[in-house]
Structure 1
Amino acid sequence: MAAVRTSRRAAVVAIALVVAAAAGLGLWWTLGRDDADRDCTGLRADDRVRTVLGSAWRSDLHCTDLADGLRRATTGDQPGVHTLEQARAMRALVLALAESKGHRVHPDVRRPLAEALADYAADTHAVLTLVNDPYNAHAGWRDDAWQDDQGVHFSVHQRELVPVLRGLSEDPTAYALLRAADQRQAAAGFATVKPNPPDTRIENQVGLAAMPAGAYDAIADDVLRKRDTDARSAWRKEALSRFQAAKADPVPDYSAAPADHLAAACLARVDPNDASGFVGLQSQTVCLLNRWSVASGANLGEHTLGALGDRAMTTAHTGRQEAEKALAP
């Protein structure tokens, strides 16, 4: 009988090992086989990436070296200022990343490429508004980066950009870098509006700020949807900590640096220790509007601020819905 029991136990152990092996194989098949970026093979082998890297490309480039090379190829010494070659490289990189299945980007690549893409916030912000005619006109596959009297620009379709932002945002620091850069673009837009009397462009500016903000809301929702409670909390806290670290201290005077004042004042409201702090980001356009009204001296009335605030929330909701479409399988 003892021999029989031993034999049965051995059989049970053998079956368990087979099941475990099968489960592991199934997990690899699901998460690995279809993920060409699990060791950067897909990105490294992409012809567009090879072109961007030029002589720096090697078939055995480690993910960190690959990311560093791409960052150097797409950005320059002066923040936000690029050559046509660098903008073309960023456009090619975004299009390559946009084809990644399931928005997957290797962890070693996320933050460096987010830093590089945040340097193009003027372009990505314009794309996410969906209503910028020059950017829409240069978004096709056969289009190119271009230069005008305001500098060098690149564009892609929103449906290509949003999945890239989503893939990079798996890293909460990368998400914070990208969203904080976008918020600074929104603040810069508000800073151009004349307050006395209030420029009629204020309504348009609210919409231009809110649409990209809604897209970033949708990206965060998609990232958090696939995490358990503890993982969601950790991601939020790290992202909020990075937002707080990005604010200027002290907040500069509006008269000296209006855009920096608006962005820093709203970032200062972020509290990484507040469980509901992330919800405050969903009203970032309302914050920018209210701060602009006071700091600029426009002093819009309660009724006007309320109506513009409603427009901001409605437009942000539209931006969220459009981004959700871009992220749909």
Structure 2
Amino acid sequence: MASASSRRTRGLVVGGGIVVLAAAGVGVWSWTRSSDNGTVCSTLRGDSRIQGVLGASYRSDMPCGDLGRALREAATGDRPGAHSKQQARAARTTLEAVGDALGKSGEKDVDDSLRMPLAELMADYVPDTHEILKELDADYVTHLSDGEPWEDRSGVHMTVPNDVLLRVMRSVSASPSAYAVLRNAEGQYAAHTMARIPRTAKGFDLSTPVVGNALAFGALDGIASDVTARLSGQEAAKWNRAVVGALGSAAPEKIPDFKADPADYISATWAKGLNDTTRTDSAAFRSQGAEYLSIWAQGRADGFKPPSKLTEDCLNGQSRKSEEATRSLRAG
């Protein structure tokens, strides 16, 4: 788990990244299906769980955009990455309700006005979504049964089933800017995970966080694959370019020094490499976990060379998780 200080740092980074990515996404939404009264939004308005989350702010005639923003605010509050149990409960309930609404309607995408608010909500919970996507932390399995948020030294946490999170993430990713928010949040968090690895780490202490990052990236690869598979060739190319452009625009102009900010060094170095691609199924994306390991090793500048087996495990793990996510989304 992340330390309390790293959660605060991560929250500030992700919060700023959302603003940049949302701005970068302006102009790429027009080709996606736009609706303010679609099946999912209507279903959510009539869901008693959603009414409970919003309380006095709920209205049965809320425009879809207002509904999305109200749900985001109920779950995230005013401090990025820091949550009360009530907010975490709101996040969990919202994700479950959206997942159920998608299942009932048979829709793959939520209404256009819901996409960015829900993406921002999930990005604010990236320490939790990271663990849910990679499926290695026993706490997240244990707390599925009681359905309640819990608190430890790193803060308050919530969990939902892996297939529910995948379905909701997929549903907002019809918007390339919303997908970029999710990918950026995971990229920033994974970079902080790398930065916390001690230089002396070996064995599981080294491989667990590194391969865990690759697994989470793989799940996001699977989501991108499902989105583009359902678009025409021209629309898929446009979606891909928009995602790559949004992620590239969020990177700082100058890569920071590794010693001063190892996490930003890792994420910025990777993002700069996107200048050579226009596709989310390129090697830059599909090997992001292994690339983070390589960039971290280079930044250390102490002669450390990643074990070839660990690099191979990252590549294989990311590929496997992508295939698992794609199968789950097709089945759902």
* 2:332 is the alignment partner of 1:327: no
Displacement of 1:306: 2.9
CA contact (8 A) 2:255 2:269 kept: yes
Q: Give CA-to-partner distance per residue, 1:236-286, whole Å, 9 cap, x none.
A: 011111101221332222222221221111112112x73456511111111
1:81 corresponds to: 82
Residue type of the partner of 2:189? Q
1:5 corresponds to: none
Q: Give CA-to-partner distance per residue, 1:25-63, whole Å, 9 cap, x none.
A: xxxxxx9xxxx9437111111111111111010110000
CA contact (8 A) 2:41 2:64 kept: yes
Residue type of the partner of 1:138? H
Distance in 1, Cα, partners of 2:225 & 2:280: 14
Distance in 2, Cα, partners of 1:283 & 1:306: 14
1:24 corresponds to: none
1:9 corresponds to: none
Give SS of 1:281's match: helix
Q: Which has the larger radius of gyration?
A: 1
Distance in 1, Cα, partners of 2:239 & 2:178: 11
Displacement of 1:298: 4.8
Pick from 151, 154, 167 the counterpart of residue 171 of structure 2. 167
Q: Give CA-to-partner distance per residue, 1:182-217, whole Å, 9 cap, x none.
A: 11121111111112x444322222211111111111
CA contact (8 A) 1:198 1:298 kept: no
* 2:268 is the alignment partner of 1:267: no
Pick from 267, 288, 291 the counterpart of residue 292 of structure 2. 288
Q: Give CA-to-partner distance per residue, 1:129-181, whole Å, 9 cap, x none.
A: 111011111123x4111111110110111111101110011110000100111
CA contact (8 A) 2:116 2:178 kept: yes
Residue type of the partner of 2:73? R
CA contact (8 A) 1:270 1:277 kept: no
2:57 corresponds to: 56
2:5 corresponds to: none
Distance in 2, Cα, partners of 1:248 & 1:80: 21
For structure 1, list consecutive stretches of 5 or more residues without a partner in the other structure.
1-30
CA contact (8 A) 2:221 2:281 kept: no
Pick from 117, 126, 132 the counterpart of residue 127 of structure 1. 132
CA contact (8 A) 1:206 1:311 kept: no
Correspondence list, 1:82-101, <5 A: 82-99=83-100, 100=102, 101=106
Q: Give CA-to-partner distance per residue, 1:112-138, whole Å, 9 cap, x none.
A: 110121111110001111110111111
CA contact (8 A) 1:190 1:202 kept: no
2:233 corresponds to: 229
* 2:147 is the alignment partner of 1:143: yes
The normalised TM-score by structure 1 is: 0.83
Give SS of 1:134's match: helix
2:4 corresponds to: none
CA contact (8 A) 2:108 2:170 kept: yes
CA RMSD, Structure 1 to Structure 2 (Å): 1.9
Distance in 2, Cα, partners of 1:275 & 1:104: 23
For structure 2, list consecutive stretches of 5 or more residues without a partner in the other structure.
1-32
Give SS of 2:144's match: coil
Residue type of the partner of 1:114? A
* 2:245 is the alignment partner of 1:241: yes
Displacement of 1:328: 2.5
Q: Give CA-to-partner distance per residue, 1:52-106, whole Å, 9 cap, x none.
A: 1110101100001111111111112221111111110000011011121333310
The normalised TM-score by structure 2 is: 0.83
Identity of aligned residues (%): 31
